[in-house]
Structure 1
Amino acid sequence: MSFPEIHRVVTGHDSEGRAIITSNGPLPKVVEIEAIPGTVFHEVWSTESTPVIIDNGADPTLGDLMLPPPKQGTRIRFVDIPPDTEEFLAHGADNMKGAFSQIGDEKASTVKADSPHPLMHRTESVDYGVVIEGEMTLVLDDSDVLLREGSVVVQRGTNHAWANRSGKMCRMLFILIDGEYEPALASALAARGA
């Protein structure tokens, strides 16, 4: 099963300050993750600062594919996630360095021999993850939660993975906001070797 193409409309201003459409069509950057066949990132937009500079600048999705948001910035993307396979669960951890390298954040992978899922990772960000279609399981260090269409996760820099145990494709929307661990939490994570 494949999902429909995502249609994006971007607004801006003309030289006299009137609202205009600057882009109207398919997303210019859609990338399948080579190490995880069937996983597709649909890059919608990103911002480089907070507060964001509102201008008619270039499309920020045209650069390199990056998992985390820019420092002090945001990122929005859809991700199509295939069902986990026995092969992936047994040997997927071997490919995670390559997968996270392709998405610009090799150090995000936290997978170890005893990890509950091969896609365990952590980013120093707050991420809103919304299940658009299908089912997904959020996997944490000691628990997991089944998510269905309309479920939203507020993921606050934790070690986690997205496990598709449904047997069907899942599409999620992610909005990532750059963050910084508060000092006591940063110390606790460092003490755990995380």
Structure 2
Amino acid sequence: MEQGQRAAPAFRRIVTGHNGEGKPVVLSDGLAANHKFPDGDISSTLMWSTDASPTSILGAADEGLRILGTAPPSGGSRFAMMEFQPGNVMHGLHRTDTVDYVICVDGEIDMFLDEVRFVTLRAGDVLIQRGTDHAWVNRSAAPCRLAVVLLDAVPKREGSVSGDISAR
């Protein structure tokens, strides 16, 4: 690890599937490894993604190792664990053309809808976000962990963050 760089958060990820005889098996069990740090005080760890709905339950590809941007693939989904360090600053408002299921797993965080209005999420709270402009700020003294599922949605709007891997 380089000086000034913080360690990636540890999230255990278990993936199940089927063997050649169709019996249920654990395909992998270990720490998720697909981390990105869009800002120094925020990390995102991809757990899984899909390209369509319905999606196949067969196959051996590890869809948690894909390189994705913020939004899911067109018609698909993206499941990530996010960690916000205490005292992170509010970055610009952004939006995705998605329906998001956000579960606050640990800690506390404010989701700003604009420069003034915000909602505080605490452990156990669930947010259903429907393509709104928003920004995250952890004003507490401890890290906050969110489980986030993004589902591709319509309409597609100018200025929304895409699934392009160059997006933050």
Question: TM-score under structure 2 normalisation?
Answer: 0.82
Map 1:1-194; keep pairs closer than 5 Å. 5-33=10-38, 36-85=39-88, 88=89, 117-141=90-114, 143-181=117-155
Aligned residue pairs total: 154
The 1-side partners of 2:29 and 2:141 are apart by 34
The 2-side partners of 1:42 and 1:124 are apart by 20
More RCO (CA 8 Å, sep 6+): 2
Q: Is the 8 A contact 1:12 1:20 kept in 2?
A: yes
Q: Is the 8 A contact 1:119 1:162 kept in 2?
A: no
The 2-side partners of 1:4 and 1:60 are apart by 19
Q: Which residue of 1 aligns with 2:4?
A: none
The 2-side partners of 1:178 and 1:154 are apart by 14
Partner amino acid for 1:153? L
**C-alpha distance after superposition, 1:167-188 (max 9, x if no partner):** 321111101111002xxxx7xx
Work out the percentage of aligned pairs sharing the same amino acid: 35
**1:72 Cα deviation from its structure 2 partner:** 1.1
Superposition RMSD in Å: 2.4
Q: Which residue of 2 aligns with 1:99?
A: none
* Runs (5+) with no aligned partner, structure 2: 1-6, 161-168
Partner amino acid for 1:173? A
Question: TM-score under structure 1 normalisation?
Answer: 0.71
**Corresponding residue SS for 1:175:** strand
Q: Is the 8 A contact 1:127 1:175 kept in 2?
A: yes
The 2-side partners of 1:37 and 1:4 are apart by 13
The 1-side partners of 2:96 and 2:15 are apart by 27
* Runs (5+) with no aligned partner, structure 1: 89-116
**Corresponding residue SS for 1:72:** coil
**C-alpha distance after superposition, 1:67-90 (max 9, x if no partner):** 1111111111110101335xx4xx
More helix by share: 1
Larger radius of gyration: 1
**Corresponding residue SS for 2:64:** helix
**Corresponding residue SS for 1:8:** strand
Q: Is the 8 A contact 1:135 1:149 kept in 2?
A: yes
The 1-side partners of 2:97 and 2:122 are apart by 25
Partner amino acid for 1:123? T
Query: Which 4+ residue blocks in structure 1 deviate beyond 4 angstroms?
Result: none
